[in-house]
Amino acid sequence: MMLARVADSLYWIGRYVERAEHVARLADVMLTATLDRAETAAQVARIALSAVGDATPERIATPFESSRGLALDRLEGNSVVSSLALARENARQVRDQITSETWERLNLVHLRLAGAGAAKSFNDGSSAFLHDIIADLHLFKGAADATMSHGEGWRFLLLGAHLERAQLIGRLLEVCFGRGGERLDHPTLTAVLRMSCALEPYLRVYTADVRARPILEFLLLNAEFPRSIRFCTDEIEAHLSVLSRHTEAVHVGPGRLAGRLKARLQYADMAEIEREGSHVFLEGVLAECGDIHRGVYDAFVAYPLEMRLPA
């Protein structure tokens, strides 16, 4: 049992932190690609910028500025600094619910990004700067895991993180392999794996055979890699089934949706997905993630009072 507002905030902390980490990684990969051939750099920039929303030709042509924008522009809704400010604002609202260790990690990375020295640090060494942000966010997750009770609040935090991750990876795959996707060259495919933090785990499964189809298979269906959509849906289902235990039977919504999505990925077959068109499958998965998000709200946060008043 916890306050509905608190559950909502924890859920959003999970989402925003996940988003910040993903965007920081995209910005980093985009910068690294500028060292490659111009066509590759442009392709990587297009993918990275499309995956977070805004890929105009000017922005693709100026990867350094775009990368700095993704990291530090407060006016950009998806930038790392914006996401972390929101995560921290939510954390402040539930300061009594998270441990000091967890709070300190988040507060620290927020202060560093929002502080006066951030732009200079970025200009002095952008890759190192982004790398440190990602490492700090891992520390936050580690602190949450190691110091918070693994009860309801922690589950809402992880539910948010995994739902966000499934949607972010889904969107990235859609940009790369969905409708109207162009043929990607080898360095670009490697960059896509880096954007999902999947290069090393991928190589261990498929060796250095970097091709579009196994990449799609790995990021979609791998059971063990924590950023594959299948892994995320397993987690979402697991957290929701525990969280739903105490809600009344009428509110089976999000748990049922999550179970169905989990089964869909668990029993999916790559050949079948390709026959239908991978974009159809990806669109379906993203739509169901959206439904789960709304279902969580209806069941736990914004439920109608009439149904819960004592008789």
Partner 1 sequence: MEYGVATAQRSEEIDRALAQAAGVAAVEAAARPPYDEMHAPDGSVRPHFAALARRLADLDPGELDERQRTLERFFLLQGITFTVYGAESTTERIIPTDLLPRIIPADEWAQIEAGLTQRLQALNLFLADIYGERMILKDGVVPRELVLGAPSYRREMQGLYVPHQAYANVCGSDLIRQEDGAYAVLEDNLRVPSGVSYMLANREASKRTFPGTFRLAGVRQIDRYPDLLLTTLRSMAEWRPNPQVVVLTPGVYNSAYFEHAYLARLMGVPLVEGRDLVVHDNMVYMRTTTGLRRIDVIYRRVDDDFIDPLTFRRDSSLGVPGLFNAYRAGTVVMCNAPGTGVADDKAVYAYVPEIIRYYLGEEPILPNIETFLCREPSQLSYVLANLDKLVVKAVGASGGYGMLIGPHASLAQREEFAQALKADPANYIAQPTIQLSTSPCLIDGQIDDRHVDLRPFILSGEKITVTPGALTRVALRKGSLVVNSSQGGGSKDTWVLAGPGDDLS
Sites of contact with partner 1 (CB under 8 A) = 1-7, 89, 92-97, 100, 103-104, 107-108, 111, 152, 156, 243, 246-248, 300-301, 303, 305, 308-310
Beta carbons of 137 and 107 less than 8 angstroms apart: no
**Torsion angles phi and psi, residue 308, rounded to 5:** -110, 0
Residue (52 or 143) nearer to partner 1, CB:
143
From the CB of 91, what's the least distance to partner 1, in Å?
A: 9
Beta carbons of 225 and 201 less than 8 angstroms apart: yes
Beta carbons of 103 and 95 less than 8 angstroms apart: yes
Residue (103 or 231) nearer to partner 1, CB:
103
From the CB of 233, what's the least distance to partner 1, in Å?
A: 21
Q: Token pair of 111, please?
A: 């202060």
Beta carbons of 174 and 279 less than 8 angstroms apart: yes
Residue (152 or 174) nearer to partner 1, CB:
152
* CB neighbours of residue 277 within 10 Å: 12
Residue (3 or 61) nearer to partner 1, CB:
3
From the CB of 9, what's the least distance to partner 1, in Å?
A: 10
From the CB of 309, what's the least distance to partner 1, in Å?
A: 6
Residue (88 or 165) nearer to partner 1, CB:
88
From the CB of 84, what's the least distance to partner 1, in Å?
A: 14
Residue (76 or 217) nearer to partner 1, CB:
76
Residue (95 or 294) nearer to partner 1, CB:
95
Q: Token pair of 287, please?
A: 């739509």
Q: Give the three-class secondary structure for 195.
A: helix
Concatenate the DSSP letters of all residues of 207-265 into one string.
TT---HHHHHHHHHH-SS-TTSHHHHHHHHHHHHHHHGGGS-TT--HHHHHHHHHHHHH
From the CB of 239, what's the least distance to partner 1, in Å?
A: 12
CA 106 – CA 104 distance, rounded (Å): 6
From the CB of 247, what's the least distance to partner 1, in Å?
A: 6
CA 287 – CA 53 distance, rounded (Å): 17
